[in-house]
Amino acid sequence: MDTSLWHTNPTAAYADWQAREAAGADRRPFSARSIVQHRAMFEHFRRHLLERGATLASFGPEHIAALWHTRAGARHGVATRMRYLKLLDRLCRHLVAIGVRQTNPAAPLVREAHWPEGEPEPIFLPEAADACLQAWVHPAPADDLSQLRSRAIVALFLGTGITVAEGCAAMVGDLHPEAAPPYLRVPAHGARDTRTVHLAPFAVPILAAWQQRRATLPIAGDLIFSMQTTGQAMTVKTLGVIVRAALEAIDFSAADMSPRILRNTFCRRQLLAGHARDDVSAMLGLASPRTCDRIAATIADDAPLQEGIRL
């Protein structure tokens, strides 16, 4: 068996192995979306090793442990770390089998690790607070440029349910508040396919107003929201500060004041409106209905859920 590709081009070797042989614990092939996710995770770990002068043939448990102390790894929750360990365990077992490695440093880490027993309760805006924030995003005659932009940013998250990364990357050409119905096109990225999300009615006036105002500004690039002087994407931190300020403006406080709470609120609003969980998952760009299941569980039994929503 020719194993040279694992030494000369690990990325290509991993893709080839995954396409031909890799499978889950039940020996079933991985889905196309899982394959994309696994390749991204492998590439992230490969670069991690490269920065530390290690290779797939030489890395040890200390290199895996160091992954959690990187800037990106420090943000990984228990479930994400477990997914990395499972991936590295599968990989190392294969590398041992074909003679590229002598040991599997991931094996003892997998045995000691555990999937989280429960997931945290999702945080969302109650219906009254959701209504208040919807009113807050409406454009006002006295708005200056900063205030208009802040309202539009909050409206985009609250009215489409996109992720903060998708908000950072959203382009002017993808936003169509004048269409019938108004919509946002979210390009494919990572494991997520391109999708179209209809804008909530409350978000249309402010997004149309921002789009018109933006067209008059000397902003470089085509991002919907960017740093005016450079045209670079706004940072996650800046967007978080804007969302927090909007929530504080309506006297709402929670443990999570990030754009995530607006995404969860969008999801819950769709479920309350009678949309089936698979459809809502598609709106959110999710392959699994697990997020919708968790948020649907927060809806009281006597809430006005329609057919197809109850789990």
Nearest-angstrom CA–CA distance, 70 and 301: 43
pTM of the model: 0.65
Higher pLDDT, residue 92 or 192: 92
Determine whether domain 127-296 maps to CATH 1.10.287.130.
no
Q: What's the mean pLDDT in 117-142?
A: 89
Which two tokens mark 182? 């108004």
Q: Write the Ramachandran bin of 53: left for phi over 0, alpha for psi from -120 to 50, otherwise beta.
A: left
Q: What's the mean pLDDT in 154-158?
A: 98
In this prediction, what percent of the chain has a pLDDT beyond 90?
64
Per residue in 196-250, pLDDT tens? 999 999 999 999 999 999 999 888 789 999 986 677 889 888 999 999 999 999 9
Highest mean pLDDT among 21-35, 136-150, 182-196, 292-306: 136-150
Average model confidence (pLDDT) across the chain: 87
CA atoms within a 13 Å half-sphere pointing along the CA-CB vector of 29: 9
Per residue in 70-97, pLDDT tens? 877 777 777 788 889 999 999 999 999 9
pLDDT of residue 302: 39
Q: What kind of architecture, by CATH, is found in domain 4-112?
A: Orthogonal Bundle (1.10)
Confidence of residue 22 (pLDDT cuts 50, 70, 90): low
Q: What's the mean pLDDT in 147-152?
A: 97
User: Three-state DSSP class for 285?
Assistant: coil
Q: Is the pLDDT of residue 308 over 70?
A: no
pLDDT of residue 127: 94
DSSP one-letter string for 63-131: HHHHHTTSTTGGG--HHHHHHHHHHHHHHHHHHHHTTS-S--TTHHHHHH----SSPPPPP---HHHHH
Domain range summary for the chain, segments of one domain joined by +: 4-112, 127-296
Which two tokens mark 137? 């995003």
Q: Is the pLDDT of residue 146 over 60?
A: yes
